[in-house]
């Protein structure tokens, strides 16, 4: 993708002039020297290309690996939205990542920044000793309705939410979804860990409101532009139409429905070509830091092999027991169902059965026998049967 990226950047400068000066003007800094205090060269390239695409109503993907600073580029899009009177909607994986974004926006010179957080009763520690807090559910809903009426955030700098916040509950949509639908036409979507919005849209599903994957595609279509950020953006072929909706990839297929099968049939060679073409079209950049000069040396240390063997034998025995008990759980489940029929035939009021915790999935932190420390294990034991 290196040659493709160089071509894209050269084309950008032919159209817009110096890339540093372009981004300085878009973000409202007084000079390019001030801009360089906040952003590295790689971040400037990505932010400028992203903003150029957003102004055309398109999208941009940063697939950078750890170390380039995707969070800082996300912060630049938030600042750009403020400069242009648009609403930045920052969507990420977990609430603790709100604190990371707060640090990023402060580090690029945004002062007195306060996000509108969709979570209720949230208490999120910040790195400077402060705390992000939100009101109870009733007050949060009232505040969302006020924003929906005016289509303005008022004193808030951006909307912060998570992917899990936008799922259905008991097959019903929450107010948060309607809130985002209302403000999306004047918003820029910032999808952090964008593959989280991908989901799976194949196969049968019950009638009802859009699932998470469908809802995010709806938001992408409604918004002014989209910034996708993920080092693993293309995890599966069925995620790719999320990006195709706002990039030139959509022009390469007859329909979004056909894209997945085309990528599956084309395999790795086609996936590589698609990535290169996205970069050449100025819709993506993907960089990583070199490991030059970094050495990895494994050190052999003395261990008590007898203890390690005993530990492994115990774990194997537990795993074997866990597998063997599945048949017993199945038999108990059928027996309980048969007994439950005696109490009535109305199947609409709950369900009956037996479930068992899968022990291997509750076992973490088994220290390697090659460690200097004694073998340590952290167990989370659950009841054998949950009736």
CA 197, CA 45: separation in Å to the nearest integer? Answer: 25
Look at the block and give the residue holding tokens 């070199």.
290
Does residue 127 have a pLDDT over 70? yes
312 shares a domain with 279: no
Q: pLDDT tens for residues 137-150?
A: 999 999 999 999 99
pLDDT (average), residues 317-324 = 85
Does residue 60 have a pLDDT over 80? yes
What number of other Cβ atoms are within 10 A of residue 257's Cβ? 11
Residue closest to 239 by CA, chosen among 221, 222, 264, 219: 264
Domain that holds residue 110: 2-285
Task: Give the pLDDT score at 201.
Answer: 53
- pLDDT tier for residue 361 given thresholds of 50, 70 and 90: low
Cβ within 8 Å of residue 362, ≥6 positions away: 379, 380, 381, 382
* 229 lies in some domain: yes
* 300 lies in some domain: no
22 shares a domain with 144: yes
370 shares a domain with 263: no
First-to-last alpha carbon distance for the chain, in angstroms, is: 55
Look at the block and give the residue holding tokens 């593959």.
195
pLDDT (average), residues 171-182 = 93
Q: pLDDT tens for residues 15-29?
A: 999 999 999 999 999
Does residue 303 have a pLDDT over 90? no
70-84 helix and 41-55 helix, angle to the nearest 10 degrees: 40
* 322 lies in some domain: yes
135 shares a domain with 281: yes
77 shares a domain with 20: yes
The CATH number for 55's domain is 3.40.50.300
Task: Give the pLDDT score at 238.
Answer: 86
256-280 helix and 2-16 helix, angle to the nearest 10 degrees: 80
Task: Give the pLDDT score at 370.
Answer: 47
* 291 lies in some domain: no
340 shares a domain with 279: no
Task: Say if residue 103 is exposed, middle or buried (CB neighbours under 10 Å; 0-12, 13-18, 19+).
Answer: middle
For the entire predicted model, the pTM comes to 0.76
What number of other Cβ atoms are within 10 A of residue 187's Cβ? 24
Residue with more model confidence, 327 or 35: 35
* 384 lies in some domain: no
339 shares a domain with 276: no
99 shares a domain with 128: yes
201 shares a domain with 73: yes
275 shares a domain with 329: no
* 206 lies in some domain: yes
Task: Give the pLDDT score at 374.
Answer: 45
- Count Cα neighbours of 170 within 13 Å in the Cβ-side half-sphere: 0
* 250 lies in some domain: yes
Total domain count, the chain: 2
236 shares a domain with 349: no
368 shares a domain with 233: no
Whole-number percent of the chain with pLDDT over 90: 57
Q: pLDDT tens for residues 241-262?
A: 999 999 999 988 888 888 888 9
pLDDT (average), residues 52-57 = 95
Strongest mean pLDDT among 25-39, 157-171, 348-362 = 25-39
> Is the distance from CB of 130 to CB of 100 less than 8 angstroms?
no
Cα torsion angle, 162, 165, 171, 177, sign: negative
CA 142, CA 154: separation in Å to the nearest integer? Answer: 14
């Amino acid at each position: 993708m290196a040659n493709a990226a160089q071509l894209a950047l050269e084309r950008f400068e032919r159209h817009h002039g110096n890339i540093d000066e372009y981004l300085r003007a878009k973000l409202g800094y007084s000079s390019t020297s001030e801009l360089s205090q906040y952003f590295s060269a790689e971040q400037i390239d990505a932010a400028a290309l992203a903003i150029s695409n957003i102004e055309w109503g398109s999208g941009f993907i940063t697939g950078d690996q750890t170390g380039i600073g995707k969070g800082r580029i996300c912060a630049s899009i938030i600042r750009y939205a403020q400069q242009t009177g648009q609403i930045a909607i920052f969507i990420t994986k977990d609430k603790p990542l709100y604190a990371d974004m707060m640090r990023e926006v402060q580090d690029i010179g945004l002062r007195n920044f306060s996000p509108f957080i969709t979570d209720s009763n949230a208490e999120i520690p910040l790195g400077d000793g402060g705390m992000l807090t939100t009101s109870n559910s009733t007050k949060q809903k009232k505040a969302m309705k006020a924003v929906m009426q005016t289509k303005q955030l008022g004193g808030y700098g951006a909307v912060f939410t998570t992917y899990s916040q936008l799922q259905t509950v008991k097959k019903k949509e929450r107010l948060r979804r309607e809130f985002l639908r209302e403000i999306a036409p004047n918003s820029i979507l910032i999808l952090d860990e964008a593959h989280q919005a991908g989901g799976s849209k194949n196969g049968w599903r019950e009638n009802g409101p859009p699932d998470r994957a469908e809802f995010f595609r709806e938001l992408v279509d409604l918004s002014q532009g989209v910034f996708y950020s993920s080092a693993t953006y293309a995890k599966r072929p069925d995620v790719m139409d999320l990006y195709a909706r706002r990039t030139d990839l959509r022009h390469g297929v007859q329909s979004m429905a056909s894209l997945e099968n085309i990528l599956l049939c084309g395999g790795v060679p086609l996936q590589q070509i698609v990535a290169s073409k996205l970069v050449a079209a100025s819709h993506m950049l993907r960089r990583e830091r070199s490991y030059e000069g970094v050495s990895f040396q494994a050190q052999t240390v003395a261990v008590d092999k007898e203890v390690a063997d005993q530990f492994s034998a115990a774990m194997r025995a537990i795993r074997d027991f866990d597998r063997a008990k599945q048949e017993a759980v199945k038999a108990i489940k059928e027996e309980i169902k048969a007994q439950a029929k005696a109490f009535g035939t109305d199947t609409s009021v709950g369900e009956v059965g037996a479930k068992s915790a899968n022990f291997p999935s509750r076992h973490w932190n088994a220290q390697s026998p090659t460690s200097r420390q004694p073998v340590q294990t952290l167990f989370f034991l659950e009841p054998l049967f949950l009736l």
